[in-house]
Structure formats: C-alpha cells, structure tokens
Chains A and B, each alone.
Chain A
Amino acid sequence: MQKLVVIGAGMASGRVLEHLFETAPDAFDVTLFNAEPRGNYNRLMLSPVLSGEKSYAEIITHGDDWYADNRVTCRFGEAIEGIDLARKVVKSAGGETPYDKLIIGTGSNPFIIPLPGHDLPGVISYRDLDDTNAMIETSSRPGARAVVIGGGLLGLEAAAGLRMRGMEVTVLHIAGHLMERQLDAAAGYLLRRDLEARGITVITQASTQSIEGDGKVEMVKLADGTELPCELVVMAVGIRPSAQLAKDAGLAVGRAITVDAQMQTSDPDVYALGECVEFAGNIFGLVAPLYDQAKVLAKTLMNEDDVFTVKELATKLKVTGCDLFSAGDFAEADDREDIVFRDPARGVYKRLVLKDDRLIGAVMYGDTADGNWFFGMIKDGTDVSEMRDTLIFGPAYQGGAAVDPLSAVAALPADAEICGCNGVCKGQIVTAIEGGATDLAGIRATTKASASCGTCTGLVEQVLAVTLGDDFVMPTAQSVCKCTDLTHEDVRRLIKSKELKSQSAVWQELGWTTPNGCHVCRPAINFYLLADWPLEYQDDPQSRFVNERNHGNIQKDGTYSVVPRMFGGITTAAELRAIADAADKYNVPTVKVTGGQRIDLLGVKKEDLPGIWYDLNAAGMVSGHAYSKGLRTVKTCVGTDHCRFGTQDSTGLGIKLEKLLWGSWTPHKVKLAVSGCPRNCAEATCKDLGIICVDSGYQVGVGGAAGMDLKETERLCDVPTEEEALEVTAAFVQIYRENAKYLDRPYKWIAKVGLDWVKERVVDDLENRRALAARFELSQTIYRKDPWAPLAAKAESFAPLADLTLEAAE
C-alpha cells in the first residue's frame, strides 16, 4: 500500500478521501494532519451554528467512526511545520512522517487589515468553529454590541447570526453597496433594506481608522470621526490562500500553490486542492469547484484521466429570509444588454445580462426561484434570442419546456420546510388543510406559513393544490388581455425599465400578439405611457374610450352630457346664466345638479358639442372632466367663510386643490373633498383623497370609496399647513399614477401595496415626496389644459363626413 499523507482536514480533502475509499478502499494508507483539533465538518454551515439554528454536532461530515472504519490515521491538532520534497517526508511536532503521495489542502487564512488595534482581544475573524464559538460567547453577554468589518458573503452571514443571537450589530463596508462582487447596486440596496429591517445597521463607504480599547476591544473609529462602541469586532474582509508551507518547501507558488488540471503541483508526487491553489490564474473560494477538484484528484491518484475546468459559479446567501442569487458576469459594458425587472412593493429585483444573444450573468433578489434555470443557461451558453421577450419571467413563461411545479411539491417529504420564516413544514400544512384550512388565508391563520415574508406563498398554494386536488383553484396572475400574457404590473414595470415610450415600442418589445392591441389593453397602455413619459409620449385619442375621446359621457341614445368645471363647487351668477343660455340654445332636455357640486347638461348631440363648448369657454368655463379617468371634482363645505364651526378655509383649499390637479389623467377616476371641520359636511371620508380641517391643521385621508364598494378613508397623515396638504396631495396622486394598475381606484391599489408603503414614500421620505410632487407638476405642464378649446375649433370633425341623404334628395 502506498503511503498517502493529507495536510488539512477540510471540505476539499475530505471529499478526495470519500472518492478514494469508495473506489479503492485498499489502495492507500492514509495519514491526515489537521491544525484544528477536530476532523472535517461542513464549514458552509457555520452560519446556522452561529445563529443558533444548528449545533456543531449536526454539521460534522466525518465523525470518529468514519475515520476508524476507513483506517485513517488522524493527527488532529498537529500542524505541519515543513515538507522535505527530496526525502518525501513532512515534519510536525510528532516528528517526520514519510509519504509516497502528498496532498496539500491547507485552505485559506482570513485577511486581517493591519489597523491600529487589530490584535486586541475581541477582534476575531470568521473562518472556523473556534471563531464561531468566540462570537457565540461574546453575544451571550447582555447588551453586547458587535461591529462587522466587511459586507461580503461571510461578513453578512456573521452579522445576521450575531443579530439573531440578540447583539446590536453594525456592518462596515468599504464599497458603495453590499456584496459588490456578487450584486449590483440595485440588489445591494434591497439586501441592505432587508438587513436594516432586522435591526442591523449598515454603513457603506466606511473607512475604518482604528480599533481602540484598553486591553480589549472597546470601540471602532471611522475616518469621518464616527465612534462605534462595541465588545466584538469581526473582521471578514476576505481570505488569502494559505500557501506559505508549500512556498517554503520550494513548490511553485504564485498567488497560491500552482497546480495543473490534474491538481499536480510542480513536484510530481505532491498534489494540492481547495482554497490554497491557483489554477490557470484562478483562485477559489466557493465549494462547488473544490468538489470538482476533489473528484479530479481522486481519479489522478487512481491513474485515471480527468481534467479540472473552471466553471461559472452561482452564489446564494445563507441568511434566512434574504433571498438573493447571483451568477456569471454582470458588469456593465458596451457590448452587453440588460433586462431588468423590478417590483419595489415586493422587494423583487431581477437583472439578466446578455451578450451576443447569450446570457452571461444574472442577479436576483427577493424571488430567486428561477435562479438555477438561468444559471443553467449561463453554463450552457444557450442562445436566448427566441425567448428574449419573456426570458426574465422564467421557465414558466417559455413554451413547451415548462415543468409541472406541482410534481416537485407532491414529491416533498412531510418534514420538508416550506416556510422558513416560521419554520413550518409540509406535513403541518397538510394537517391544517385536512383540519379545514382550505385556502391561503386559512393556512396563514392556522400555521403562520407564508404569513411573514410571503416568499413561500407560491409553495403553500402548491401544497394546497396537491392536497385538495381539483377543489383548489390556484389564483393565477391575470394578464392584461388576450393580446399578451403579461400582467398590468409586469407591463408597467417593463415600460419603465425598458424605457418604452411609444405604443409601437410596447407592442414590439413586449411581444404583443396583435398589431395594435385591443379595446382592453390600448387605453391602459396609453395611460401608462403618458403617465411615465409625460414629455416624450403624446396622448393618443384613438386609444381612448369614446367618453374621453369626445370629452363627454355617451348616453344610451348616443347623445352626450356636458359638465363645465366649478372649482371647489363655487360658481357665479354669470356662469349660471351662460349655462342656462347654452341649455336653451342647444335644446338640452335635462339639466341636473350632480353629486360633485356642479351642473350636468344631458342629451347633447355629438355635432352640437363643439358649439356648446365654445359658448361655455367664452363664459370662462372649462371642461369638468366628468367623463375621465382623471381628476373629477373637489367637493367642499363653506368652511370659515360662513360656517360658525369651520376651522380652516376649506372652500379655498378645495379650489386650490382643484386648480392644482385638474386635467391630470389617473388610472381611474379620482374624487376629492375638503371638510372644514370634523362634522364633515363635504363627506371627505369616502373620497379617494379627503381632507378634514381641524384647529391644528389638516387630516389627510386616502382610499375611500362610495361606489361599488363602500370604504372609509384611512389616515395618510396630519399636516399643519395648507402648503403641505397641497404637496402631499400632489405626491399621492403622482405615486398612484406611477404605480397603480389601470382601472384600479386608489383604495384597490392601496390594498395591494399597503398603506405603509404609501406612507413611507409620501409622508416619511420628504425628499421623495417633493420629487413626486415635482414629477406631477412636470406632467401638469402638459395636461393642465382645457381639452374643449382645441376641439371646439375643429367642429367639422364632429360632423358626418358626408350626408348622402341630402344629395339623393337633390
């Protein structure tokens, strides 16, 4: 038997031994040295050990029994001090050990930044079980604080684990965003938001100046003077291949131990693998290539041919609830194209990088279910030109190849975890279903599965479908119409992300199946385009429903209604006289006072519209947009002008609001009201946006309804001044314009995104509120115009093209 000596009991060398013992159990007499006083364990699982989700015993890969069964001589806790290549021996505290073949698997060392104070007790790295135990011990002290230097994979796993142990944790990262080697800025932002939501403080572009303390760590000082008091500093800024031993022995070493594709070093009897090697200019830090190397090395030792090649790598972060995926190359370059998908409300971001019709990189955050599918295409170099339009939506949207997701769920064992947030496994969900919880809400109420982050909602629905069979109807995402498989939300996102600024761009780029849409999608697309690109896109009357094209409500007999605007419900004797004259002149059969505090002239013939508009324009009146998916009215009470209870000038504010908002297009109609006191005579609490004046200012409520559904407004915010009430209103209308599905009233849209989501952007984030209001105002420079005036000048287009009844009579 040949003598095989292995230096380092890590994951790579452990895998080599597994392969060898499987194929040729009697070929080698193995001696295994390890500087750590223990055998091989799964280092990837240190994070769950740190967070308390697993114990050390659970992550041991090779226990004492395994080594004994395979007759491995274990020399744990004994570091190798030197290698004599000429005499083929290794030297350690226990003397010299001869070898026929030698494997070096010394791994890597954590890189410690030589900051002042880096050697203080309490400064540790994060590489092995001892580091992990040291962190656990410090975290058990009440009120303990930690600073993690390094916002990469390892640093963030350490930070999340320490936070779960109850420590106050601050992450310092030198780059502009977290995990910059695996994520782009957008995904880095979402990751940061998720970490902050669990109580971790993140400081990017942080330049650490020193670690200070008297005999132990007391604080970290940044270059900008910030002082962060702490009891623990975790240095996780990277690793360096551990190659000194090989270098001292005289082996060829570059950045790491140089090996060929058979894992052979410059000495024919010495092999190396893992994080300590360099192959064709590459060094390695993730486990997948290490396992490939182990397979190759085992074959090489058995005199079989095999070749190690460098493959694309995918990264996942092992922090429960932070779902990210990154693979390939996603740097920007001139010859590359991006496909980007964002859903800010769900915190989902996906970016695909294409070069020459092939996928070369993918970054995903929030929803990584399709990660492996994309990764497969990166590795295979698949030509994606055929499926490019729908590529980002994943395999479910590609014809033919769609796998049945239910079969995979059906095959899951009962103890398979479905909801990571609440630790709910499939068996518990099935039990709940059998106990009568037959829909998502029922499952959430009984098991809490999918009730936290919600990312497992799809899986829970699939468990429902598998268990209930035909009794369960899977809620499917509704596409806009038959012209496309995309949902409204998808289309809105793509219009923004792909900067689609014309209808033809939408049809083309989003793969519409019809030449120019249909009556369902065209009005929606027309709105999305004019809302997102007010300056670039020109409103298309031919994509509007008849009421909006003819600026009046069509009645069942084909006549129209005409409603002039009365700002804030205030009119004058002169206006009323002009309305009465118009009603006489055009034989208006019905004159009605509307619920929106104005006057409706019903039964006007189409060819009379330009004339009546002209007359009303001449009296100083403009269209009331009583027909539009846009601002309708601002209803008011008389407020402080006349009312003895009024607290503010509600009429004045109503007029200002209507002057601010009129002419704007919105996903559905928008009605406002302002009441001068909580008696609420203007009925502001059932409007899309309603303001109640109080002594201290203005209570702004949103999401009311009094139509098909009856709903009371919910409080958006209280503001002290009229200016702020106006700004908040403009910002709210704009965020609704930018995000809602066409034909969703604000209350429906708010139910989807959540009022908190709206508050964050419209109330809490002042800068964002101003930006929204500014974008609204920009759009209003185009749309705050009376549509009647230009049409009144084109009266002929409202008349028949020809009248052959007259010609025939002649």
Chain B
Amino acid sequence: MNWIDIGALTDIPQRGARVVKTQVGCIALFRTGDDQVFAVSDTCPHKGGPLSEGIVHGHQVTCPLHNWVFSLETGQAQGADKGQIDTYAVRVEDGRLMLDQTQLQQRSAA
C-alpha cells in the first residue's frame, strides 16, 4: 500500500464528486451525505458518461447521461441495468484524502 495525499475532504462538496486523473483513466472521488468517501471509475460502462457529474444519493450515484445507477460501495449497476465500475481504496486521514497508488499502478500493469 502506498497512500498518497491528493487533497482535502472539503475540496469535494457533500453529495458531490471531484475527478482525479490517473494512468488508468479518470477516477471519481465521491463524498456522500454522511461524509464517507468512495473512489470509483468516472466512466459509465454504458455510454461513457462522467459519473462524477451525477446526482449522489445515499451511497449511490446516477449517471447524468442515461440515469444508470451504481453502488459506490460495490461498483455494481443497480436495478435492471447490468454493469460494473472499478472501485479503488481511499481513506480520509485528518481531513486529507488518501488514495492507494499501488492499486492504480497494479491496475495499469494488468
């Protein structure tokens, strides 16, 4: 594990998201209404919509293009839609957002 500091929790609005550009593509960092943070792929498997622009409700996000809903916990598409987005390890330490870089490199190697 190689945790790197990528910003402050408060850089993300509650029930909102920000994007981190990585070698494996854009990752969306979500901050939910209960102040939990999730890191998932920013790209909807359906038509490539930017998930970071979706409406965040509970621990889910709705894609802004065609309303696919994904669980931020598992990356699973909800309801009738079938699909999966990658999830990444993220944690909050003293108000700072920490992302595991090794995971990103492993993914890029694979």
> Is A516's beta carbon under 8 Å from chain B?
yes
Q: How far is the CB of A541 from chain B (nearest CB, A)?
A: 7
In the assembled complex, the Cα of A788 lies from the Cα of B21 at a distance in Å of 25
Q: How far is the CB of B25 from chain A (nearest CB, A)?
A: 10
> Is B19's beta carbon under 8 Å from chain A?
yes
Give the one of B15, B60, B62, B104 with max A CB within 10 A.
B15
Tell whether, in the assembled complex, residue A542 and residue B55 are in contact, meaning their CB atoms are under 8 Å apart: yes
Interface residues of A in 758-810 (CB under 8 A from B): 797, 800-805, 808
* Chain B residues near A545 (CB-CB < 8 A): 55, 64
Tell whether, in the assembled complex, residue B57 and residue A546 are in contact, meaning their CB atoms are under 8 Å apart: no
> Is A592's beta carbon under 8 Å from chain B?
no
A549-B53, A804-B23 given as contacts; is B18 within 8 A of A516 (CB)?
Answer: no
> Is B69's beta carbon under 8 Å from chain A?
yes
Tell whether, in the assembled complex, residue A514 and residue B58 are in contact, meaning their CB atoms are under 8 Å apart: yes
In the assembled complex, the Cα of A686 lies from the Cα of B48 at a distance in Å of 36
* Chain B residues near A518 (CB-CB < 8 A): 55, 57-58, 60, 62, 69
> Is A519's beta carbon under 8 Å from chain B?
yes
- Mark B7-21 against chain A: 1 for CB-CB distance below 8 A, else 0: 100011111101111
- Mark A509-551 against chain B: 1 for CB-CB distance below 8 A, else 0: 0000011111100110000000000000000011111100110
> Is A558's beta carbon under 8 Å from chain B?
yes
Residue of B16, B23, B64 near A542 (CB, 8 A) is B16
> Is B34's beta carbon under 8 Å from chain A?
yes
> Is B56's beta carbon under 8 Å from chain A?
yes
* Chain B residues near A519 (CB-CB < 8 A): 54-55, 57, 62, 67, 69
* Chain B residues near A541 (CB-CB < 8 A): 13, 16
* Chain A residues near B19 (CB-CB < 8 A): 800-801
Q: Name B59's closest neighbour in chain A (CB-CB).
A: A515
Size bracket of the B interface = 35 or more
Tell whether, in the assembled complex, residue A522 and residue B6 are in contact, meaning their CB atoms are under 8 Å apart: no
* Chain A residues near B15 (CB-CB < 8 A): 516, 542-543
Tell whether, in the assembled complex, residue B57 and residue A516 are in contact, meaning their CB atoms are under 8 Å apart: yes
Tell whether, in the assembled complex, residue B29 and residue A801 are in contact, meaning their CB atoms are under 8 Å apart: yes
Tell whether, in the assembled complex, residue B55 and residue A523 are in contact, meaning their CB atoms are under 8 Å apart: yes
Q: How far is the CB of A13 from chain B (nearest CB, A)?
A: 67
> Is A80's beta carbon under 8 Å from chain B?
no
> Is A556's beta carbon under 8 Å from chain B?
yes
Tell whether, in the assembled complex, residue A801 and residue B12 are in contact, meaning their CB atoms are under 8 Å apart: yes
Tell whether, in the assembled complex, residue B23 and residue A808 are in contact, meaning their CB atoms are under 8 Å apart: yes
- Mark B82-108 against chain A: 1 for CB-CB distance below 8 A, else 0: 000000000000000101010010000
Tell whether, in the assembled complex, residue B23 and residue A805 are in contact, meaning their CB atoms are under 8 Å apart: yes
Tell whether, in the assembled complex, residue B67 and residue A804 are in contact, meaning their CB atoms are under 8 Å apart: no
In the assembled complex, the Cα of A227 lies from the Cα of B72 at a distance in Å of 75
* Chain A residues near B45 (CB-CB < 8 A): none
In the assembled complex, the Cα of A804 lies from the Cα of B3 at a distance in Å of 13
Tell whether, in the assembled complex, residue A515 and residue B58 are in contact, meaning their CB atoms are under 8 Å apart: yes
Tell whether, in the assembled complex, residue B21 and residue A542 are in contact, meaning their CB atoms are under 8 Å apart: no
* Chain A residues near B18 (CB-CB < 8 A): 797, 800-801
In the assembled complex, the Cα of A522 lies from the Cα of B21 at a distance in Å of 29
Residue of B6, B12, B49 near A804 (CB, 8 A) is B6
Tell whether, in the assembled complex, residue B7 and residue A542 are in contact, meaning their CB atoms are under 8 Å apart: no
Give the one of A515, A518, A519, A801 with max B CB within 10 A.
A801
Q: Name A549's closest neighbour in chain B (CB-CB).
A: B53
Number of A-B contacts (CB under 8 A): 87
In the assembled complex, the Cα of A545 lies from the Cα of B58 at a distance in Å of 16
Interface residues of B in 25-76 (CB under 8 A from A): 26, 29, 33-34, 47-50, 53-58, 60, 62, 64-65, 67, 69
Q: How far is the CB of A516 from chain B (nearest CB, A)?
A: 5
Q: How far is the CB of A150 from chain B (nearest CB, A)?
A: 56
A556-B47, A801-B11 given as contacts; is B22 within 8 A of A546 (CB)?
Answer: no
Tell whether, in the assembled complex, residue B53 and residue A804 are in contact, meaning their CB atoms are under 8 Å apart: no
Q: How far is the CB of A604 from chain B (nearest CB, A)?
A: 14
- Mark A483-522 against chain B: 1 for CB-CB distance below 8 A, else 0: 0000000000000000000000000000000111111001
In the assembled complex, the Cα of A519 lies from the Cα of B57 at a distance in Å of 7
A514-B57, A546-B54 given as contacts; is B20 within 8 A of A801 (CB)?
Answer: yes
* Chain B residues near A804 (CB-CB < 8 A): 4, 6, 20-23, 99, 101, 104
A542-B14, A801-B12 given as contacts; is B54 within 8 A of A516 (CB)?
Answer: no
> Is A297's beta carbon under 8 Å from chain B?
no
Tell whether, in the assembled complex, residue A522 and residue B20 are in contact, meaning their CB atoms are under 8 Å apart: no
* Chain A residues near B23 (CB-CB < 8 A): 804-805, 808
In the assembled complex, the Cα of A477 lies from the Cα of B60 at a distance in Å of 27
Tell whether, in the assembled complex, residue A558 and residue B50 are in contact, meaning their CB atoms are under 8 Å apart: yes
In the assembled complex, the Cα of A85 lies from the Cα of B89 at a distance in Å of 98
Q: Name B33's closest neighbour in chain A (CB-CB).
A: A516
> Is A124's beta carbon under 8 Å from chain B?
no
Tell whether, in the assembled complex, residue B55 and residue A515 are in contact, meaning their CB atoms are under 8 Å apart: no
* Chain A residues near B53 (CB-CB < 8 A): 546, 549-550, 554
In the assembled complex, the Cα of A515 lies from the Cα of B60 at a distance in Å of 11
Give the one of B7, B54, B56, B67 with max A CB within 10 A.
B56
* Chain B residues near A516 (CB-CB < 8 A): 15, 33, 57-58
Give the one of A515, A522, A549, A802 with max B CB within 10 A.
A802
* Chain B residues near A805 (CB-CB < 8 A): 21-23
Interface residues of A in 164-185 (CB under 8 A from B): none
In the assembled complex, the Cα of A523 lies from the Cα of B33 at a distance in Å of 16
Q: How far is the CB of B61 from chain A (nearest CB, A)?
A: 8
Q: Name A521's closest neighbour in chain B (CB-CB).
A: B57
Residue of A515, A517, A523, A800 near B21 (CB, 8 A) is A800
* Chain B residues near A515 (CB-CB < 8 A): 33-34, 57-58
* Chain A residues near B49 (CB-CB < 8 A): 558
In the assembled complex, the Cα of A545 lies from the Cα of B23 at a distance in Å of 29
In the assembled complex, the Cα of A556 lies from the Cα of B63 at a distance in Å of 12
Q: Which 3 A-B pairs have the closest CB atoms?
A: A519-B62, A801-B18, A546-B64
Given A523-B55, A797-B18, A803-B21, 10 other A-B contacts at CB below 8 A?
Answer: A515-B33, A516-B15, A516-B58, A519-B55, A519-B57, A545-B55, A556-B65, A801-B19, A801-B97, A802-B21
Name B residues whose Cβ lies closer than 8 Å to a Cβ of A. 4, 6-7, 11-16, 18-23, 26, 29, 33-34, 47-50, 53-58, 60, 62, 64-65, 67, 69, 97, 99, 101, 104
